Chain A
Amino acid sequence: MYQKAMRLYRLALGPVLLLLSSIGSSAWAQGPTEWRHPNQVNMPVGVTEVSAQIHSIHMTVFWICVAIGVAVFSTMFYSILVHRKSRGYKPSHFHESTKLEIAWTIVPFIILIVMAVPATSTIIAIYDTEDADLDILVTGYQWKWKYEYIDPAGENISFFSSMSTTPEEIAGTAPKGENYLIEVDEPVVIPVNKKVRFLLTANDVIHAWWVPEFGIKKDAIPGFINEAWARPLKTGFYRGQCAELCGRDHGFMPVVVSVVEQEEYDSWLTAKKEEAAQIKELMAKHFTLPELVQQGQQIYNRVCVACHGPNGEGGIGNALAKSAIVTGALDETLDTVVHGVPGTAMQAFGGQLNDVELAAVTTYIRNSFGNNMGDMTQPVDVFNFKKGQ
């Protein structure tokens, strides 16, 4: 019986160790960009120095724990197999040993110090946000990210980055793409080999900005700014997700960072700035009612529909059809859309949409769902409204 049990025990130990070592080794086997693949079992080594350090601490602590586990469990299994009543083993009655107890207090303590040393130096490195080459203000919104490139010359550019996976893919009526749920309409672009500082904040609730391959996870807290930084050493797309429960679509708020060569970054930036200039031009333009309504509908269906329903019938938000505010004075509607309603889910869209978009959506809601105001809001009206406040 005993012999058989011991043999079983040894037999079992083999696969367990094998499994453990496969967890350990798989990380080294993969290059960083292939990290996101099915059946991945370990943390990425990543593409920054910090992420590699984190990975190495992780592995060290992991193996220490495995070693302690093996020691503790093999002692236990030895007793289980040998010191059993069915083998006629008579119990001894010792129940104290000061030496032993001191030993197993001190040894773990020392082991913990061994763990704490590299952890301390890594965290000091992570907190060193000085001397960045580029600052990006990242703002979490329900449920998208806004990136604002802080330009020393004051010409900041900014854009929103939302998930681009379609509702059909999620519902299963369309095949799911390769980057299902971790793809965005517009990734944040940064140059390789540069220290990029991220200033994180949020507009509504707490979000967390997580890019595993950078070793960054930091909360974005409304009203506060947190700092994080990365110096990616390799180009490529790096994907992550919002890591703090932030409401309904918390699971649909990916982060995608595109790390590119400096030249590519520069031309991207120039293009962005031109785009911004174009929008500025549009601001001065006078639109026709159908133009505004048509554009407004698109914005409505992208931004507002979640709360106000496809036909303005309401939901989380009030009904817009026949609403006193929407069918009242124009200023009142604008006020609601631009500044939101204090203390409710109705956000201030003044900072989220540009003046063209605000004008369009305002015009749209005043001329749809049975609302028949017939009036128009031009971008310049929005501009003046904002200034007048």
Chain B
Amino acid sequence: MAEQTTPGHEPYYVPERSKLAIMAALGLFLSVFGAATFINSNSGKFSDAGGGGWLLTIGIAVFIAVLFSWFRTTIIENRAGMNSAQVRRSYVLGMQWFIFSEVMFFAVFFGSLYYVRVHVGPWLSGAGEKGVTTLLWSGFNFEWPLMQTPQEAVGGVANQMMANNGVFTGPERNLAFPGFKEMFAWLPLWNTVILLSSSFTVHVAHHALKADQRKKFTTWLLITVALGFIFVALQAVEYYEAYHHYGLKLSSGIYGTTFFMLTGFHGVHVIIGATMLLVQLLRTFKGHFTAEDHFGFEAASWYWHFVDVVWVGLFLFVYIL
């Protein structure tokens, strides 16, 4: 029936029935059900049924297997020429809007950081329109990074004028900009350099691919992936330092909270992005991609640039300012 198309129209490829979707939904369900069970029984908050760990592992395994087979299928379809230009545009749109949704996710945490720093902190220490609140936290001085939590300021849990909902102990040291003298011993700076240059290297790789210079392409892509993983490793070192030497933890009050949540989610996205790029690298070894058609790589590189931009925001608002 392909003959029926109007001149100039390629048929839009609508895939056949597929098990992928429902298996993916199942994998996702097992993962989150397992995760919830696991967290409930292990966080020390609720004692609960065991078995969550297993469920979580199985769920993730199923999910990863499905994702693998899903991408495999689409890649095979694409290489078999089933994707018209229009289909490809759908993928492009899909990726772009997915990244937009990620932007909004990070916006929540940046927004929260703004709110606690600009509004809540001053209120708790007696400034601004809700300054009367200081009656509850007398002695609390707001500074950023927050080294002493309101709870500590009033002398601990027993003295706070509200029910106990956890113990929050400020850090001994923070990870803010240490001044120009010690700048070079400051990991975040190196991380910034690494991530920014990786954005550059992936860009070079892209150009090489467009010019059909395969060798150059794989080299620069390899460098990018390496930089990505180095970043993750350094980040791990930083976390280790924070936890073991700085006393900076998730429970260090709102500074620790925002610090770890923002850098943590960013770190997770770096891992995802680097993995995506790694997959593209492996695909090039199998001879995938042409100078014209390399959406897999392009999507991964967009994602990588996005992760990079988030880092710039982090560097500015979490570390420097």
Direct interface between A and B, CB < 8 A: yes
Answer whether residue A347 sits at the interface, using C-beta atoms and an 8 A cutoff. Answer: yes
Given contacts A224-B123, A224-B136, A343-B45, contact A204 B162 (CB under 8 A): yes
Name which residue of chain B comes closest to A222, CB basis. B162
Say yes or no for B167: interface residue by CB 8 A criterion.
yes
**B57, CB-defined interface residue at 8 Å:** no
Please, what's the 1-or-0 string for A172-207, where 1 marks a CB less than 8 Å from any CB in chain B? Answer: 000000000000000000000000000101111000
| CB-based contact B132/A225 at 8 Å | yes
Chain B residue, CB-CB nearest to A343: B166
B130 touches A339 (CB 8 A): no
Contacts A199-B132, A199-B135, A223-B136 given; does A343 touch B165 at CB 8 Å: yes
Quick check: is A154 within 8 A (CB to CB) of the other chain? no
B74 at the interface (CB under 8 A from A): no
Partner of B164, one of A224, A227, A340: A340
- Given A224-B123, A225-B130, A342-B167, check contact A203 B135 (CB 8 Å): no
Residues of the A chain whose Cβ atoms lie less than 8 Å from the Cβ of B150: 223
Q: Does any Cβ of B come within 8 Å of A288's Cβ?
A: no
Chain B contacts for A341, CB-based, 8 A: 164
Say how far A316's CB is from chain B's closest CB, in angstroms. Answer: 12
In the bound assembly, the distance between CA atoms of A343 and B46 in angstroms comes to: 11
Q: In the complex the two chains form, is B157's CB within 8 Å of A225's CB?
A: no
Q: Are B165 and A201 in contact (CB-based, < 8 A)?
A: no
Q: For the complex, is B104 an interface residue (Cβ under 8 Å from A)? A: no
B26 within 8 A of A: no
Residue in chain A with minimal CB distance to B167 = A342
Q: Which residues of A contact B45 (CB under 8 A)?
A: 343
Which of these, B132, B137, B166, contacts A227 with CB under 8 Å?
Answer: B132
B284 close to A (CB within 8 Å): no
Task: List, in ascending order, chain A residues with CB within 8 A of B158's CB.
Answer: 338-339, 348, 350, 389
A256 to chain B, nearest CB (A): 24
What are 27 A-B pairs at a CB distance below 8 A?
A139-B161, A199-B132, A199-B135, A201-B136, A201-B161, A201-B162, A202-B162, A203-B162, A204-B162, A204-B163, A222-B163, A223-B133, A223-B137, A224-B123, A224-B133, A224-B136, A225-B130, A227-B132, A339-B157, A339-B158, A342-B157, A342-B165, A343-B165, A343-B166, A347-B164, A348-B158, A348-B164
**Hey, which bits of chain A sit against chain B, CB under 8 A?**
139, 199, 201-204, 222-227, 338-343, 347-348, 350-351, 389
Q: Chain B interface (Cβ within 8 Å of chain A)? A: 45, 123-124, 130, 132-133, 135-137, 150, 157-158, 161-167
